[in-house]
Amino acid sequence: MTPSNHGTVSAVYFATLAAMPSPSPKKAMDGLLGMQLEALRESVLQQHHKEVGELRKTIVELRHQLYFNDTDAVSVCHEAIAHGSAVGRWADFAAKLLDKDEESTEAEPDQEKPNQMETLNMRPVWFSSTWQEAAKNRRMRGYRVSDRHSLPQIRMSDDLTDSTCLQRFVLRPRSKPQLTWSLLGTLLILWDLITIPLELFNIPGSIDFFTTTSRITLAFWLVDMPLNLCFGVERGGRVELRPTELFKIYLRSWFVLDVLVISLDVVLMVVEIISTTSTDDQSNTGL
């Protein structure tokens, strides 16, 4: 704090003491300290604003010198730096920053030149002629088209047939004979599901009827096995009508189950015939 500021604060202090009434000592001390702090704050703010204004003025003069080559501003700046004042140091710091900024702006165009040269280099794929590439693509496209036409074309729902003698007996899938045969097979399966449990009971007059129906069912399934070679199937979007392929498909699907069921029916029927024959012989011997 300068001597003038100190004298101002002291004068304010004594004037305040003279004007104050005689309250309690504590309140008087608090009021006095508040007034002194307020006066000190105003004094410090004034000094700060003054120094900031001088610094701004020096920076403006320095910029003027740098951009317009003003010799008067140079002399002012050197004098401020020689005295070692805060304003001179700030001016020196600002000048260095401006010099550094100018150096960086001057160096940027030199650094951009190699990058610009690199971007102007043509890539290897650009050296070939576009007309040559177009002709090459046309040749490749023509080759792919001709190769595609040379392959055997198989459209959806095409019939696959061969030249064997059995080919003429093969029917297309969902034909009327095949649908009729499948319906009969479904009805016989339902009949077996109903009548087989009834055979466990001794119903009078039903033995001959069940025996006849079982023989009819057995005959149907015996005929159904070779008929699998006469009904075409759809596989992979195509209609398979070749007898050899139909036989392979049947072997891999229902052949084993059909053989087991039919073999069981044949064994039961043979046992039934043998038991009936032995019963008739015994009755004839008794007579």
Instruction: State the pLDDT confidence band at 26, using cuts at 50, 70 and 90.
Output: confident
Number of domains in the chain: 2
Q: CA–CA separation, 49 vs 71, rounded Å?
A: 28
Residues 164 and 272 in one domain: yes
Asked, for residue 145, whether it belongs to a domain, the answer is: no
Kindly tell me if the per-residue pLDDT of 11 is higher than 60. Answer: no
Q: Give me the chain's average pLDDT, please.
A: 74
Contact 217, 192 (CB under 8 A): yes
Residues 49 and 111 in one domain: yes
Contact 66, 95 (CB under 8 A): yes
Pick 195 or 179 by higher pLDDT.
179
Average pLDDT over residues 219-246: 91
Kindly tell me if the per-residue pLDDT of 161 is higher than 80. Answer: yes
Residues 196 and 94 in one domain: no
pLDDT number for residue 104: 63
Tell me the one-letter amino acid at 239. V
Asked, for residue 142, whether it belongs to a domain, the answer is: no
The residues, any chain, with a CB within 8 Å of residue 158's CB and separated by 6 or more, are: 238, 239
Tell me the one-letter amino acid at 262. I
Asked, for residue 61, whether it belongs to a domain, the answer is: yes
Asked, for residue 72, whether it belongs to a domain, the answer is: yes
Q: What is the domain range of residue 46?
A: 3-118
Instruction: State the pLDDT confidence band at 151, using cuts at 50, 70 and 90.
Output: very low
Angle at 84 between CA 79 and CA 87, to 5 degrees: 75
Q: Residue 74 half-sphere exposure, CB side, CA atoms within 13 Å? A: 7
Give the pair of three-digit tokens for residue 131.
Answer: 């007309």
* pLDDT tens-digit series, residues 57-98: 777 777 666 655 555 545 555 555 555 566 667 767 776 776
pTM as predicted: 0.43
